[in-house]
Each structure stands twice: as structure tokens, then as C-alpha cells.
Amino acid sequence: MKRVLITGGAGFLGSHLCDKFLSKGYHVTCMDNLITGSVENIAHHIGNQNFHFIQHDVTEYMYIQGELDYLLHFASPASPIDYLKVPIQTLKVGSLGTHKALGLAKAKGARFLLASTSEVYGDPLIHPQREDYWGNVNPIGVRGVYDEAKRFAEAITMAYHRYHNVETRIVRIFNTYGTRMRVEDGRAIPAFVSQALRGEPMTVFGDGSQTRSVCYVDDLVEGIYRLLLSDCTDPVNIGNPDELTMLELAQEIKQLTNTTSEIIFKELPLDDPKVRQPDIAKAKELLDWTPSVQRKEGLLKTISYFAQKLNISFD
């Protein structure tokens, strides 16, 4: 039985990865310090002999017994509302945490996959964003604690690959949504959905013309799984290239929830990217991957999940 360690495994993406690998017959060790993750996300695996949870801060010394085939490093705050609250911890998990995780992968001879982000492109000057674009990031801006942590994580991952011959993979994750996102996550879809379900004003920042390309979590996890098992050592974008404005997204969610909420506008946050759209040509060619979940289908599943969390009726 193959063994995989997933750091940040009790978080939104990490918990879905735990599901994926258990369904494929792996033994899964989930490691999380629960700053933004939740035991509730993995509670359905408690008692499974092929699942093991370790509460641990990956910026400290990491160790697990026995052999290890794969290590997926997903530990990090990922929402602006989170990494602005814990900026030092965000920088530490991207630097020290990645260093510790790579050291463990090297010691075990495990293949390492880094969860990077489209935020390495910053406020991009090319559109859509290809993997060969170096980005336009403000290193001293408020978002720099996350952006630069991930850029450093990519650099040290490639250094371990080149210098220590560690097998590495890097996924650049674009905006993703789905079940197990936190109600107070702060990102657009959780905010719009929770506001709409509660009948509160739906907050759009700026004039709503900034764009995002949102991918349902099941599609993302499948892309990550394929990348891990591929031979591609360069970064690969995984996301849905179906681009829309934030105002359009708010209007879609307003319609799907049948809410009476009004849409209001607030000042755009500092360094908020104006556009975001992945070029997924590499994923198509190398992984035979494209997203398959239509946005309406994914949003309805997400809305149902949030309605249950909020104890609000939704059909």
C-alpha cells in the first residue's frame, strides 16, 4: 500500500485530497496545526485504519515513522482574511515549513508536490497567465506575505530538485471553491453565498470589473492527482479558464440563491489583482486534464453546503 503525507490535510483543499487518496487505496497521514483547518473536515475518516491524523506545526521538526511514497505540502493560510491576520506564520510556513517538508521527502525518498498559487503572478501584465510568466508582485505590499512565501517555496522546491535530486512537482492553483470552505473564509464565493443566504447585502469590491476564473474543488483535486503521478517537474497551472467578473459572479449567486439581497460596492483592497485566468495548455497536453464541472453545478453544491452549515433552508 502506497503511503502519502498531506500537510494542511484538515483544510479545504487538503481534506478533499485525503478523500481522493483514500478512495484510490492509499494510506493517508494528515498533518495540520488547525489554525485554518478543522477536524470536522476529516471527521468522516476517523476510525479508518488507512487514515492517521497528526496535529503538528510543520515549521517545527517533522517526522513520521515508516516508509513514505508521496508528500503533498498544502499547509498555509490561503485566504487574504487569514494571512493578513497571521502574516508571520504565513511567511514561516511558506519558507521554514516548505524546508522541513522537503527535508522529510528527501530523507524518505518520497516524491514531493508543492501547492503553489496563481498569486505568484501578482497583478499580471499578461493575460491569460502562462507558467513561463515571472509575475508582477509587490514584495512589500500587504499581500506580499503570501505571494512571496509561495514564490520562495517554489524556489526552494526547485533547488532541492536540482541539488538533492528530490522528485518534485509544483501546482499553481487558481481560484477554487466548493464544500468545506469556511463560512467566514473571506474569499468571494463564501462571502457572496453566506451573505445571500442570510439576506444580507452582497459586498462587491471596487466596481466589480476585476475578473477571476473559478474551479470546482473536485476538478482541481483530479488535476493535482494527475500532476503528482506525471513526469512534469516544472510548475503547472490547474484552474478553470472560464473567466468572469466579480459582479457577474455575485449576480449569478444572487440568482441561484433566489435572495432578496442587494449588491453593494466597497473600496477595492490594496494590490487586489485586476485579472486572473489560467492558461491550461500544459495541463491539457501533459496531464490530459481539463475541468468538467459546470459553474452552475458547482455553485449549487456549494450553496447547499453553506445552507446546511448556516442552518438555512435551501432547495
Q: Per-residue confidence at 314, pLDDT binned at 50, 70, 90?
A: confident
pLDDT of residue 270: 83
The pLDDT of residue 266 is above 90? yes
User: What 3-state class would DSSP assign to 285?
Assistant: helix
User: Which phi and psi angles does 270 have, rounded to 5°?
Assistant: -60, 135
Q: Note if 121 is an active site residue.
A: no
The pLDDT of residue 106 is above 90? yes
Give domain status of residue 145, yes or no.
yes
Percent of the chain with pLDDT over 70: 100
pLDDT of residue 294: 97
Same domain, 10 and 106: yes
Same domain, 59 and 127: yes
Same domain, 134 and 270: no
Residue 88: is it exposed, middle or buried by C-beta count within 10 angstroms (0-12/13-18/19+)?
Answer: exposed
Q: Per-residue confidence at 182, pLDDT binned at 50, 70, 90?
A: very high
Mean pLDDT score across all residues of the chain: 97
Q: One-letter amino acid identity for 161?
A: H
Same domain, 196 and 80: no
Alpha helices by DSSP H, 199-245: 217-228
Same domain, 123 and 203: no
pLDDT: which is higher, 271 or 134: 134
The pLDDT of residue 75 is above 80? yes
The pLDDT of residue 251 is above 80? yes
Give domain status of residue 281, yes or no.
no
pLDDT of residue 272: 86
**Contact at 8 Å (CB) between 202 and 253?**
yes
Whole-angstrom Cα Rg for the chain: 19
Q: Which residues, other chains included, contact 36 with Cβ-Cβ below 8 Å and sequence gap of 6+? A: 11, 77, 78, 79, 82, 182
Question: Which pTM was predicted?
Answer: 0.97
Mean pLDDT confidence for 257-276: 93
Same domain, 188 and 199: yes
DSSP-assigned states of every residue in 59-114? TS----SS--SEEEE--S--SHHHHTTSHHHHHHIIIIIHHHHHHHHHHHT-EEEE
The pLDDT of residue 269 is above 90? no
Same domain, 116 and 136: yes
274-308 tens-digit pLDDT: 999 999 999 999 999 999 999 999 999 999 999 99
Q: Which residues, other chains included, contact 180 with Cβ-Cβ below 8 Å and sequence gap of 6+? A: 12, 15, 16, 41, 217, 305
**Contact at 8 Å (CB) between 28 and 7?**
no
Mean pLDDT confidence for 102-131: 97
Mean pLDDT confidence for 2-10: 98
The CATH number linked to 171 is 3.40.50.720
Mean pLDDT confidence for 61-68: 95
128-151 tens-digit pLDDT: 999 999 999 999 999 999 999 999
**Contact at 8 Å (CB) between 249 and 298?**
no
Mean pLDDT confidence for 208-219: 97
22-50 tens-digit pLDDT: 999 999 999 999 999 999 999 999 999 99
The pLDDT of residue 315 is above 80? no
Q: Per-residue confidence at 196, pLDDT binned at 50, 70, 90?
A: very high
Same domain, 97 and 196: no
Beta bridge partners of 54: 31
Q: One-letter amino acid identity for 75?
A: A
The total number of structural domains in the chain stands at 2
CA distance 41 to 43: 6
Owning domain of residue 268: 178-212+242-276+293-310
Q: Which three cell numbers stand for residue 18?
A: 485525503
Mean pLDDT confidence for 88-115: 98
CA distance 195 to 204: 11
Q: Which three cell numbers stand for residue 309?
A: 452549515
Q: Which of 26, 70, 121, 146 is catalytic?
A: 146
Mean pLDDT confidence for 155-172: 98
DSSP-assigned states of every residue in 15-71? HHHHHHHHHTT-EEEEEE--SS--GGGTGGGTT-TTEEEEE--TTS----SS--SEE
